[in-house]
């Protein structure tokens, strides 16, 4: 988990800096993609805390899908 946190933060900083010289429509698209990606990461991380073995793999996949969907709904409106 120590290695993943700087990578996630770095990806968010790059996504935010990519919006600097873009039109509002482009900024909205980047926000949608960033929200979906972040949601999927957080959902997968939450899913990894559940169960063990094959059940954990299923929980990670389900958490990623649900988190990606929730992140997309939140960031895209």
What b/e readout covers 47-59, taking b as 16+ CB neighbours within 10 angstroms?
A: beeeeeeeeeeeb
Instruction: Check: CB of residue 62 under 8 Å from CB of residue 39.
Output: no
The answer to the question of residue 12 being in a domain is: no
* Domain containing residue 58: 26-77
The answer to the question of residue 1 being in a domain is: no
The answer to the question of residue 40 being in a domain is: yes
> Which of 12-16, 26-30, 37-41, 56-60 is predicted with the least confidence, judged by mean pLDDT?
12-16
What pLDDT sits at residue 61? 92
User: Residue 39 to residues 6, 20, 43, 49, 56: CA-CA distances in angstroms?
Assistant: 17, 23, 6, 16, 18
Report pLDDT digits (tens) over 18-40: 656 778 777 778 888 888 989 99
Q: How many domains does the chain have?
A: 1
> Which of 9-13, 23-27, 49-53, 71-75 is predicted with the least confidence, judged by mean pLDDT?
9-13
Split at pLDDT 50, 70, 90, the class of 50 is confident
Q: How far is CA 55 from the centre of its chain?
A: 22
The answer to the question of residue 9 being in a domain is: no
Helices 24-47/54-76 angle, 10° precision: 160
The answer to the question of residue 51 being in a domain is: yes
């Amino acid at each position: 988990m120590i290695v993943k946190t700087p990578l996630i933060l770095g990806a968010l900083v790059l996504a935010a800096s990519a919006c600097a010289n873009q039109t509002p429509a482009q900024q909205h698209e980047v926000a949608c993609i960033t929200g979906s990606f972040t949601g999927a990461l957080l959902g997968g991380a939450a899913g990894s805390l559940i169960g063990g073995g094959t059940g954990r793999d299923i929980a990670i996949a389900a958490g990623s899908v649900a988190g990606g969907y929730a992140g997309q709904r939140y960031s895209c409106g």
